[in-house]
Amino acid sequence: MSFRSLAAGALALTLVSPALAQTPLIDPPAPLDPPVKLTVGVVKVPHVAPFNGVPDIARPLGVEVELVNFVRYADVRTALASGSIEVGAIGPADVPIAVSQNLRGITGLMGVGVSAKHPIVRNGVTLDRWEDLYGKRVAIAPGSAVWFQFAATVTEQNISYGRLNIVNIQGGGQPFVQAMQRGDIDLFIGWEPFESMAIQQGLAYRQTKLDYSTSRAVGAELGMVGATRDAVQNKREALRRLIHAYLQVQNAISTSKEALGAAIAAWTGLPPQVARAVADDMTLEQSLTVDQVQRQAKEFHRLGVLQRDVSGELPQYFDLSIYQSVVRR
């Protein structure tokens, strides 16, 4: 679906529900001449749905965008670190992870969205308090952004992570749903669209009494847009136009929850009813701060996730000024 189709649908759906928060933008920058190409790594997850319309909007600004699909944030992080792509959708912890591994070629540019995060619990299983996690088979994706959120939250809730019955699941989000179908797990700590898929299939419920997006160490950020340091230094004006285009699309699909659900369905291929459920708990916005990422890095060094504390190094690996340069104040 083209950006123009998305925008037209968004305008029509504005009549259905109130408009959501919009990011005030400056006028589009003048086109680059000659055009500049940017290779962008993406994951087909709902919170980066604006990327679906970015190539159409960036082209008149003199930026040719090539989208390259990946399955996991970790794969995008690896591609950015190697320089095989120039921009990528990564997890909120991926810059600290990279720096802790002495991979110093990635710069964080902006956040993409926030959402409450709740355990997805198999029907018939009771989980009313954090203490009820003990004795349950808890499926996680080790090293994932949501696992960072969960581990930080239960620690702050005085739950002994080492006493939990953790089931490690690899290979993306679909294996969580399959494990629940088989009855192999009692709950999972996952991400959209797989959370809503398990619920729509009648396998599970979302336990909204427990929110693991609220930890002081990690927060509710769903991901970020990052770029190679080389692109930041040598293609800065192209990055400005890319971010402006991204925010234009973000505004267009955030006119209502119906519009956001339609955009998520177009980007991910989800059934419309699942995409609409995903949209209900999600807000697309830039709320990422370097301070938050520093707290995250410090906490996960303390927990032994990161081999060393890189919090003091992180300010040099973030550049929010590109985002700030296209936002009207």
- The DSSP bridge pattern shows strands 224-228 and 282-283 to be unpaired
Task: Please give the share of the chain, as a percent, with pLDDT higher than 70.
Answer: 94
CB 122 within 8 A of CB 203: yes
Sheet holding 204-206, edge to edge: 165-168, 137-140, 187-188, 120-122, 204-206
Asked if domains 3-114+220-324 and 117-206 share a fold, the reply is yes
SS3 state at 126: coil
pLDDT attached to residue 5: 52
pLDDT attached to residue 59: 98
CB 138 within 8 A of CB 190: no
SS3 state at 56: helix
Neighbours of 116 (CB within 10 A): 14
84-103, pLDDT tens digit by residue? 999 999 988 899 999 999 99
**Consecutive sets of 10 residues in the chain, 329 residues long: mean pLDDT of each?**
49 42 93 98 95 98 98 92 97 90 95 93 97 98 85 92 94 91 97 90 96 84 95 98 98 96 95 90 91 87 84 95 95
CA distance 85 to 79: 6
Q: Could you confirm whether domain 117-206 is CATH 3.40.190.10?
A: yes
Listed in sequence order, the residues at least 6 apart from 227 whose beta carbon sits closer than 8 Å to its beta carbon are: 80, 86, 87, 88, 106, 107, 109, 239
46-98, pLDDT tens digit by residue? 999 999 999 999 999 999 999 999 988 889 999 999 999 999 999 888 999 99
May I ask the CATH architecture of the domain 3-114+220-324?
3-Layer(aba) Sandwich (3.40)
pLDDT attached to residue 14: 37
CA distance 92 to 319: 14
CA distance 286 to 25: 13
DSSP string, 72-100: SHHHHHHHHHHTS-SEEEE-TTHHHHHHH
Domain extents for the chain?
3-114+220-324, 117-206
Distance of CA 183 to the CA centre of its chain: 28
